[in-house]
A = this chain, B = another copy of it.
Amino acid sequence: MNAIIISIGNELTSGQTIDSNSAYLSEQLGSLGIETLSHVTVGDDRAATARAIIAAAGEAQLVLVTGGLGPTADDLTRHALADAMGGVELVQDAASLAELEDFFRRRGRSMVDANRIQAMFPAGSRPIANACGTAAGIAARVGGATVYVMPGVPSEMRRMFAERIAPELPSGRVAIVRRTLCTFGAGESDVGARIDDLMARGANPLVGTTVDAGLISIRVASRAATPDEAARQADATIAEIARRLGDLVVGQGEHAMSAAVGMELRRRGQSLATAESCTGGLIGGMITDVAGASDYYLGGVVSYANSVKRDLLAVGQDILAANGAVSEPVARAMAEGCRRRFGADWAVSATGIAGPSGGSNDMEKPVGLVYIGLCGPGCEEVHRHVLPGDRSGIRTRAALTALNHLRLGLRMRLRTRC
């Protein structure tokens, strides 16, 4: 089975509200084995809504519509649905009207006339009760498709879908299981080249990549007759990708980078401290995104001013004067000073130019230049990067790059004191 999702509302087409309903419904449908072909958003416009419903019903077997069921003049979805059903009339549903009146009575309010429209439904359709609001949903047939209309308020929509609509849907003959593997340290094209054969169009599992601040997510969607079989296929593909990409693979799930660093530290019973300049605290922030980080993370110094690099991290004034704050020797001294100050097994440092200004004209020190220092048992490294993006992108990438060097350092080094 396949589906098209339609969202209605001027607040969506004007960009004042981001549509989260369609993504929610797509995910829910996917778990039922129903593939979403497309999302369509139109404004509070009767003709445009009717056209969108008719077009969707011609293309998909299931059409889910959200929004435009309110009591005010710009709520036109029930009229548009009636148009799409071939121009049927709206007729009052006595049970829905009683429920509406009851809804207001329970809240000690009297129902205004405007709400009566919420008990009117296209002839031949079926009302769907709303457990937490006045906007009942509607089930109907348009052409060969089943159409469900739900309120646009996310909480009402989600409850109606879960309790009233999902149970009516045929559980697809196909189960879909999704996995996402997170990689860092190579370009999207490098990653793509190594798994090119797995990314063929129409393949099963279907493999795709997306990139955000240097983190490349490899998404795997597996289809099979049963959830178990789909999961088995997905895991086999994930394992094959992981085998090919080796150390580029950070892990799965949210906060994959911080979780990977934490797992390696916990496994070794080692501790970590951070020394941050251009990242201003983002590295510490990422590390502590993961619950239980206090098992290995001692803390850090944000040494934004040079005086702090000197006083708290013992970076020599001569090193600062000779090389500038954004330099290999300073990154090294920050990491070393931090490790010593905190008595940590590992320390990682970042110093760079986040921009938009502060870069040198000769491109020797451009905006985006970042040095990452790493210091740990048997390990002393400094890495130079010129990172792309705006201030925010450079800072996020710098923090992720620091954590990635730490992750690789942890994986490669033996447990010996340096």
Among B23, B72, B210, contact of A188 (Cβ-Cβ < 8 Å): B72
Complex contacts, A282 vs chain B, CB 8 Å:
281, 285
Complex contacts, A202 vs chain B, CB 8 Å:
74
| A210 pairs with B307, CB closer than 8 A | no
Nearest-CB residue, chain B, relative to A207:
B74
Contact flag A48-B41 (CB < 8 Å), given A18-B20, A281-B283, A299-B303: no
List residues of A (273-329) whose CB comes within 8 Å of B's CBs. Answer: 274, 276, 278-285, 287-289, 291, 293-294, 297-305, 307-308, 312
Complex contacts, A217 vs chain B, CB 8 Å:
11
Complex contacts, A354 vs chain B, CB 8 Å:
288, 291
A201 to B294, CA, bound (A): 49
Among B25, B115, B304, B308, contact of A15 (Cβ-Cβ < 8 Å): B25
A300 to B28, CA, bound (A): 40
A217 to B42, CA, bound (A): 19
Nearest-CB residue, chain B, relative to A201:
B72
A273 to chain B, nearest CB (A): 8
A143 to chain B, nearest CB (A): 18
| B300 pairs with A155, CB closer than 8 A | no
Contact flag A192-B114 (CB < 8 Å), given A38-B52, A72-B201: yes
Complex contacts, A276 vs chain B, CB 8 Å:
281, 284
Nearest-CB residue, chain B, relative to A254:
B392
Q: Is A86 an interface residue (CB 8 A)?
A: no
| A288 pairs with B294, CB closer than 8 A | no
Q: Is A200 an interface residue (CB 8 A)?
A: yes
| B72 pairs with A199, CB closer than 8 A | yes
| B16 pairs with A132, CB closer than 8 A | no
| A291 pairs with B356, CB closer than 8 A | yes
A41 to B93, CA, bound (A): 35
Nearest-CB residue, chain B, relative to A28:
B15
Among B10, B11, B23, B48, contact of A12 (Cβ-Cβ < 8 Å): B23
Nearest-CB residue, chain B, relative to A211:
B153
Nearest-CB residue, chain B, relative to A116:
B189
A159 to B38, CA, bound (A): 26
At the interface with chain B, which of A102-110, A119-127, A226-234, A237-245?
Answer: A102-110
In the assembled complex, 21 residue pairs joining A and B whose CB atoms fall closer than 8 Å, in A order, are A9-B208, A15-B23, A15-B27, A15-B29, A19-B39, A39-B41, A70-B189, A71-B188, A71-B192, A72-B196, A73-B200, A73-B201, A74-B199, A114-B190, A114-B193, A115-B187, A280-B293, A281-B282, A281-B300, A297-B304, A299-B303
Knowing that A280-B288, A281-B300 touch, tell me 10 more A-B residue pairs with CB under 8 angstroms: A14-B26, A72-B208, A73-B201, A74-B207, A74-B209, A107-B388, A132-B388, A280-B285, A284-B302, A301-B312
